[in-house]
Amino acid sequence: MNKDLNITDYKLYVAEETENLFNDEFWESLDFAVNAVDNIKARQYVDSRCVWFNKPLLESGTLGTKANTQMILPYKTQCYSDSVDPPEEGIAVCTIHLFPNLIEHCIAWGRVIFDSHFVERIQNTIAFLTDAKAFISQKKHTENIGVVREAMEGIETMIEMKQSADFSRCVTVGRELYETYFNNKIQELVYSHP
């Protein structure tokens, strides 16, 4: 790579609401921009700013299983916003976990957390207790080792809970889960991405 190349990456929400960070000085300082944002609205916003400030843009991104790249030279090539993508059918996972700025994102995030604790763990535990060898074999073929390890930890937790469960323990575990996911993680997110 060119040793004189100076790249700064931003893991921030880009929109009108963050124009205090992405202000005129920011856009004017760019030689070009490279996009890797997770939604059409953000892509259109960056595209409009690059056109306004006459900055080349390498637009790239994914939407579910689809991927795209497009080199945009203002007033020379088609802009990203000149064509219309089909509407987004779901919410990108990175939006749910990093920038849940709409109520729909928060609901989807809560659903993912609920399912992982109260649906997947129970289904995995039942499958494991029914036929451990088949369960482990199936998981190894369809999932990566981290997911298999996480599933096994969840099963271990479920078995321990069943053996030592009493009402006060259930309340304690419920409160710990609530604090972890609906207090601590939210405060971390707000702190990391104000």
How far are the Cα atoms of 31, 34, 104, 194 from residue 60, in angstroms, in the given order?
Answer: 17, 7, 24, 25
Other C-beta atoms closer than 10 Å to the C-beta of 144 total 10
CA distance 80 to 72: 7
User: Nearest-CA neighbor of 19 among 11, 30, 27?
Assistant: 27
Catalytic residue among 79, 94, 106, 170: 94
79 is catalytic: no
Rg (CA), the chain: 22
Q: Are strands 57-63 and 66-72 parallel, antiparallel or unpaired?
A: antiparallel
How far are the Cα atoms of 95, 97, 117, 183, 187 from residue 103, in angstroms, in the given order?
Answer: 12, 13, 21, 17, 17
The torsion angles phi and psi of 86, rounded to 5 degrees, stand at -65, 155
Contact of 121 with 157, CB cutoff 8 Å: yes
Looking at the annotation, which residues are catalytic?
A: 94
